[in-house]
Amino acid sequence: MNTPDEEELIGSIVTEMSSTMARSRVQWDRLVSNLVPELKGMNLVVLHAVMHRAPVNATELSTRLDVDKATLSRQITKLREVGLVQADPSPEDGRIQLLTLTEKAQDLLAEARTQWVQAYRERFDGWSDDDLARLRDGLRRFNTDTA
């Protein structure tokens, strides 16, 4: 049974994680949008999903992102138009298109990540290597335990 102190502590962790995720998402979207101004909102969500799931088909993305296929199709079309996503036939079933990032997208996302790391480096100013390692290890444990 959870104690009142434990309930309060877990509640405060949830609040801090929610704030961190929201700020992180806004910062990531801003960085990528600055590099490719045509991308906004849902385009960035889909690009991020392809980055982490590739090769992936549209049906799986639709399910994972909880968006209808028509909406997803518009986002994929936009990403293909700006040269960030490509679709190739699946080796197992040529009727299925697998989405992957283009070399342009990989370069763009590497640049965004470099800028993102720099922004976080400034926020972690004054943290020791041990502090950073504990944070990393705790987040890794949390993410592994809930995956």
Domain ranges (residues) in the chain: 23-146
Q: Is residue 113 pLDDT above 60, yes or no?
A: yes
Give the per-residue pLDDT at 38.
85
pLDDT in the model for residue 1: 61
CB 50 within 8 A of CB 99: yes
User: Alpha helices, DSSP H only, in 1-147?
Assistant: 4-35, 41-53, 58-65, 69-81, 103-123, 129-146
- Residue range 23-146, CATH number: 1.10.10.10
Sheet holding 85-89, edge to edge: 56-57, 97-101, 85-89
Sequence letter at residue 84: L
Mean predicted lDDT score pLDDT of the chain: 90
Q: Is the pLDDT of residue 145 over 80?
A: no
User: Which pLDDT belongs to residue 106?
Assistant: 94
Residue range 20-43: mean pLDDT, rounded: 84
Tell me which residue of 88, 100, 81, 76 sits closest to 36, measured CA to CA: 81
Rounded to two decimals, what is the model's pTM? 0.72
Work out the number of other CB atoms within 10 angstroms of the CB of residue 41. Answer: 10
